[in-house]
Amino acid sequence: MANLLQTTLELTIGLFALLILTKVMGKTSFAQITPFDFISALILGELVGNAIYDNETRIGTILFSVFIWGLLLYVIEWSTQRFRKTRKFFEGNPSIIIQNGHLSRREMKRNKLDINQLQHLLRQKDAFSVREVAYAVLETDGTISVLKKQQYDKPTYEDLKVEEKPVYLPVTFINDGIVDWENVQKAGFDQNWLDKQLYQQRIDHYEDIFYLEWKHDEGIFIEKM
């Protein structure tokens, strides 16, 4: 029983230590995972895992290991922000895979990227043929950015001479039968307004709604249970 409690305590402390570390390092570590970030995540997991399941390791060792590794990561992140020359080593550089509509075999070979992998990445950007692409850049996190040729690109409102309209974010009011009153109030409404909307839809209880969102220019959208 004592071992189970010790393991539970170590797991909890290790989890929160890693959460605090990721908060300190910033959200870009998840949005833009470089090879260095990937290695860092593996080592952090290994450090905490070994510390937890090693009977001779104490909680202090877990915290110390996370602190030291976090300090090293912070120093490296600081250096990449301060000294531009270090960015290439730690973060890498994007590579132009397609330039002026032509494939760069040298860059593909350097990045270990074959044509099938490139086609897969292009399809994720709604480019189903290489002929549609003017430029394609392989980013440091393994994703690809695409600039299509004009004849294959989607027309903009400016191209079509259409009057530009404001855009609005939808706001969730009810999720799985539970009302988010904070969102309702922030949108400028109250319970009476929400009840009236449900009455018009012949819905008697909030629990009967799986999902309800509101949008400024379109009103409410409802999915029942």
- In this model, does residue 131 exceed pLDDT 70? yes
When the pLDDT of each residue in the chain is averaged and rounded to a whole number, the result is 77
Structure tokens at 138: 């392989």
pLDDT at 1: 59
C-alpha 185/C-alpha 172 separation (Å) is 12
Same domain, 180 and 203: yes
Q: What is the mean pLDDT of residues 113-125?
A: 88
Same-domain pairing of 8 and 26 = yes
Q: Is residue 52 within 8 Å of 11, Cβ to Cβ?
A: yes
Q: How far apart are CA 82 and CA 215, in angstroms?
A: 43
Q: What is the CATH number of the domain that holds 118?
A: 3.30.240.20
Is 70 exceeded by the pLDDT of residue 144? yes
Does this model's pTM top 0.75? My answer is no
Task: Say whether pLDDT at 104 is over 50.
Answer: yes
Is there a single domain that holds both residue 186 and residue 203?
yes
Q: Could you tell me if 109 and 188 lie in one domain? A: no
pLDDT score at 10: 61
- DSSP-assigned letter for residue 58: -
Confidence of residue 185 (pLDDT cuts 50, 70, 90): very high
Is 45 domain-assigned? yes
Contact 140, 32 (CB under 8 A): yes
13-46: pLDDT as tens digits: 666 665 665 555 554 444 445 555 666 666 666 6
pLDDT at position 135 is 92
Is residue 8 in some structural domain? Answer: yes
Task: Give the model's pLDDT for residue 204.
Answer: 85
Higher pLDDT, 131 or 82: 131
User: Given pLDDT bands bounded at 50, 70 and 90, which one contains residue 181?
Assistant: very high
* Same domain, yes or no: 148 and 131: yes
Does a structural domain hold residue 159? no
Q: How many CB atoms lie within 10 A of CB 160?
A: 8
CA distance 201 to 222: 9
Asked which of 89, 110, 139 is the last residue of a domain, the reply is: 89
Note whether residue 163 is domain-resident.
Answer: no
Query: Tokens at residue 147, please?
Result: 């600039």
Least confident window among 31-40, 78-87, 164-173, 213-222: 31-40
Looking at the fold, whether 72 and 22 belong to one and the same domain comes out as yes
Give the distance between the most distant pair of CA atoms in the chain. 73
Out of 35, 55, 89, a domain closes at 89
**Is 186 within a domain?**
yes
pLDDT at position 182 over 50: yes
Note whether residue 165 is domain-resident.
no
- More confident position, 146 or 8: 146
pLDDT of 120 above 60: yes
Residues 62 and 95 sit within 8 Å (Cβ to Cβ)? no
Question: Coil, strand or helix: which one is 139?
Answer: coil
Instruction: Identify the band that residue 140 occupies on the pLDDT scale cut at 50, 70 and 90.
Output: confident
- 52 located within any domain: yes
Q: Is 74 found in the same domain as 111?
A: no
Q: Is 204 helix (H, G, I), strand (E, B) or coil?
A: coil
Q: Which residues pair with 102 in a beta bridge?
A: 99
Q: Report pLDDT for 94.
A: 83
Contact 136, 144 (CB under 8 A): yes
Task: Give the per-residue pLDDT at 191.
Answer: 92
CA 61 to chain centre: 31
Phi-psi sector, 130: left (phi>0), alpha (psi -120 to 50), beta: alpha
Q: Which domain holds residue 203?
A: 171-224
Confidence of residue 92 (pLDDT cuts 50, 70, 90): low
pLDDT of residue 27: 46
Distance, in Å, from the CA atom of 167 to the CA atom of 215, rounded to the nearest integer, reads: 10
Please give the tally of structural domains in the chain: 3
